[in-house]
Chains A and B, each alone.
Chain A
Amino acid sequence: MMEPDRVLIVSGCAAKDGGLFAVDGNRVEVIDRLKTHGLSLRSDALYRLVSCNHHALPRTDLFVYDFTGVRVSYRLDGVWDAHDVLARERDVLVVCSGDDSVYALTPDGTIDRWWTAGSRDGDRHLNCLSDFEGVVATELGWWKHDPDAATGRLFRLPSEEIICEGLSQPHTPRFIDGVWVVANSRRRALQAYDPRGTLLEERTFAGFTRGLEYDESYLYLGESTERVITANSLTSGRITILDRETWEVVDTISLPTSNVYDVVLAPRALVNGLRTGFRRDAEFADDYAAAALRAGVRPSPAWAIADPLPAASLGARIDLQPPPRRLQVDEMAIVHCKITNTGAARYVSAPPNPIVLCYRWYDDTGSAVGAGTWLHSPLPEAIGPGETIDAAMRISAPDRAGNYTIAITLLQEGVAWFDDLNPAFGIRAAVAVAEA
């Protein structure tokens, strides 16, 4: 099916079963299990985006592989919830869905914001990039209150000139044979638009469509399982191969991942480089069997499973540095703190009941305000009993001016707020919230 010297490289973005996969004919190889979003190929080098979900400590990784392994890696400070990467001649663009911005990375490691939607909190969910006669992007639009909303669009950057709109969670635009082909993911569709935005062709599939690559003869479309599994759902992600001209399905290849994010065709020899990664020799590989470079790494000595803990095992001390005193209505702020585990269990931000850093607002009558909108910040690492870590959390100010108390503590989701068990397990501070 594929040209004999080419393989498909597929990224999986689900936390539970993501990773990097090489598809050679019908054979699928798991390269590693680090969840991965965007991929970009340029000059036989593969750019791989390993996203960071920690919005208060945003440090995304970009790994650049060639035929012999990772040639260079970059830490992208300030970039969180990154979704796509586009390697260009002089720089690399990275989409940060967390703040609806595009960042440009130059080879010397400098990263600057290249474009921003100016939206708050990733409301537009900018997600994928393409480059044909300039940069083209997809975004979900103002979709958060209705996942089915047809608010997505395909548009040029930085001009924001719209190519087509009315899409439902679009991804992966590609300019193929003179038309824009885009995954209209929520509708499980692949669509083709002419450059003026007229729908020319549409075909629906069984899964959530995302990830698209093509060669002379075929399109390679990623399909993912739906977030809500039904009897007719796919049970795993897959690559569906379509005839490039007719879009007839030629073949499907099941993948050991539930969520496909990106697909690229790459030289077969690149797979050796992906397998090698940072591991350059047998001794190194034995010592550092995990997927990424482990300089300075001391793995946590316990499995990260967060079963519901008994109340007697929960205890914490929170030290703020320094506490916020004034905020504006709806202001987003980063708060740094130290967390000490004074309990008798290991705390991790992992399923099924993650322990997270959280807060509650109380007005001057003592009533909780804004329940349901309080932001949860994962712990940056597991904390053993007696251990102290530095952490950062994002807080969102109430939507009305006034005098409030913020109570910051740990929360085991679905189990308990720590400061409900003992007020000493949290910290409180008075905060004046003023009109913006």
Chain B
Amino acid sequence: MASALVLIAGASRTERGLFILHGTALRTIDVLPTLALARHEKLLYRVIGSSDAAACDDLLVYDEVGIRRTIRLDGVAGTRRLLAHGRGLTLATRDGNAYKVARDGTMTLAAAHERFIPGLAEGAVRALRDGWLVCDADASEVALHDDAGALVTRTRLEGSPCALAVDRQRAYVYERSDARAVLTVLALPRLQILERTELELEEIEDLAVVPAELAAGVRIGSRTNSTRAQQEDQLAMFARAGVRPSRLWATGDPLPPWSSLRVRIRALLPREVSAGEILELPVIVENESDAILVSALPNPTQICYRWFADGGRAVDAGSWIHTPLPRSLVPSSTLEAMVRIAAPEAAGRYVLSVTLLQMDVAWFDDLDPSNATRGDVVVV
């Protein structure tokens, strides 16, 4: 296959989408159901479909940077073939219609004489510099016609040719057979068979040959706006955790009032301590909230505790030791920290509550008592 980069819209046993062929190695680019491909000069046009019969198709336009435009093809469903040429785009649908797509995305039904050659909807067609290459699936042939439509030459194949792509010297033909998909390479313009390769695909919808720069743009896809792409990555992480984020990034700003601040604190609290003693206690914090908790300025979230005497009166406020989170704590994750706790100076019976505190914002257990672990402690 030399160094040609062939894009394949098709389906393997496990996924349907867009694939790229490097030599004989097939790699998945994405799993959007792809109906048709066409390249013209430095652009690749790709039509994606939908499992919903009532939904319309979408046109994605790629350049070497990534997706340049998307156009929803209102009223068009089931695109079968796509032709890109100097006069614009023409697409044919499974129901036998053909549409012209203007540069501004508006579509018009193509008149019969604008369909370039008969049978556009039925056969795979690619424009050459001075003619047309046509797959005839029923006859198991690939045929070269001149601009006037006259047959120049044709080649018989083993399977049914159902999709094709061309570059200056070669044609790449998908042959449908009972077994795996076969990609056959033909030399232009005489259509001699150069190579046949079996692919790990069950079906191919369409093919396109692209230069390496354009293939790089196809791989980048919609990740062109790095600011948006980073947000999407982070949103995807929240989605995987089953959380709709109240905010996206690990900032030390006050957690917003719309946050769902839920944490689970686990620690084995002592029953008895000495007055004024400094304890070191392992504490496990699980973030069940919708934000990333972080001990960063200006309002760091830290592990802290409070002592309460009889009647719920807070004791020694201002002397409680704050323990920073050892790392940012993302939703649905857990960390363990060694927390230092100073026992009250006066002996007596107390309640110790270990929780999180966002400085100058809120104690988490004031928002919900279940955001703490509490226990009775005797100070001797």
Contact = CB atoms under 8 A, between A and B. Distances in A.
Nearest to A108: B103
A73 interface: yes
B296 A297 contact: no
A352 B103 contact: no
A153 to B, nearest CB: 28
Nearest to A51: B227
A362 B328 CA distance: 36
A34 B228 contact: yes
Determine which residue in A34, A57, A305, A378 has the highest number of CB atoms from chain B within 10 A of its CB, and name it.
A305
Contact of B232 (A57, A291, A305): A291
A239 B249 CA distance: 24
Given A303-B292, A303-B330, A352-B296, A296 B66 contact: yes
A416 to B, nearest CB: 17
A60 interface: yes
Interface residues of A, number: 70
A295 interface: yes
Interface string A274-306: 000010111110010111111111011011111
Given A17-B248, A33-B235, A281-B50, A305 B254 contact: no
A258 B247 CA distance: 10
B286 to A, nearest CB: 16
A75 B228 contact: no
Nearest to A302: B237
B54 to A, nearest CB: 8
Given A17-B256, A70-B70, A290 B224 contact: no
Given A61-B225, A72-B70, A305 B330 contact: yes
A294 B246 contact: no
Interface string A10-27: 000001110000000000
A1 interface: no
B256 A352 contact: no
Interface in A318-363: 348-352
Contacts of B258: 236, 254, 256
Contacts of A16: 247-249, 251, 253
Contact of B104 (A61, A107, A229, A300): A107
B218 interface: yes
A125 B336 CA distance: 46
A71 interface: yes
B250 A350 contact: yes
B72 A69 contact: yes
Contacts of B71: 71-72
Nearest to A352: B296
B51 A283 contact: yes
A53 B229 contact: no
B234 A107 contact: no
B30 A295 contact: yes
Interface string B42-79: 00001010111001101010000111111110100000
A267 interface: no
A86 to B, nearest CB: 18
A304 B228 contact: no
A229 B220 contact: no
Determine which residue in A50, A71, A74, A299 has the highest number of CB atoms from chain B within 10 A of its CB, and name it.
A299
A68 B72 CA distance: 10
Given A17-B247, A69-B72, A295-B222, A300 B233 contact: yes
A258 B239 CA distance: 22
Nearest to B232: A290
Nearest to B238: A33
B294 interface: yes
Contacts of A60: 225
B84 to A, nearest CB: 15
A109 B103 contact: yes
A15 B227 CA distance: 9
Interface string B293-305: 0101010000000
Given A17-B246, A72-B105, A107-B105, A293 B70 contact: yes
A256 B258 CA distance: 6
A305 B225 contact: no
B29 A303 contact: no
A387 interface: no
A305 B227 contact: no
Contacts of B48: 295
Contacts of B230: 304, 348-350, 381-382
B55 A280 contact: yes
Nearest to A53: B227
Contacts of A280: 50, 52, 55-56, 58
Given A235-B254, A303-B234, A381 B296 contact: no
Contacts of B169: none
B32 interface: yes
A299 B229 CA distance: 8
- Nearest first, the 5 A-B pairs at minimum CB distance are A296-B221, A107-B104, A281-B52, A352-B296, A108-B103
6 contacts: A72-B105, A256-B256, A287-B31, A294-B232, A297-B221, A307-B294
Interface of A: 15-17, 30, 32-35, 50-54, 57, 59-61, 68-75, 77, 106-109, 229, 235-236, 254, 256, 258, 278, 280-284, 287, 289-297, 299-300, 302-307, 348-352, 378-382
